[in-house]
Amino acid sequence: MLAAVQQILMVIGIIVVVITLLLFWIATVRVSALTLMFSHLFDTSVGMTGVAELSEVDGPFVKIRLKGRFWHERSLVLARLGNYMKERIPEILEVDIEDEKQLDDSPENF
Summarize pLDDT for 36-53 with one digit per residue, the tens. 555 555 455 555 568 888
The pLDDT, as a whole number, for residue 100 is: 93
What whole-number distance in Å separates Cα of residue 70 and Cα of residue 106?
11
Helices in the chain by DSSP H: which ranges? Answer: 2-38, 74-88
pTM of the model: 0.59
2-109 is classed CATH 3.90.226.10: no
Instruction: Please classify residue 44 by burial: count the beta carbons closer than 10 Å to its beta carbon, then call 0-12 exposed, 13-18 middle and 19+ buried.
Output: exposed
What whole-number distance in Å separates Cα of residue 103 and Cα of residue 40?
20
pLDDT digits over 69-99, tens only?
888 889 998 998 898 888 888 888 999 999 9
What is the rounded radius of gyration, in angstroms, for the C-alpha atoms of the chain?
20
The pLDDT, as a whole number, for residue 15 is: 83
3-state helix, strand, coil split of the chain in percent (to 5) is: 55, 15, 25
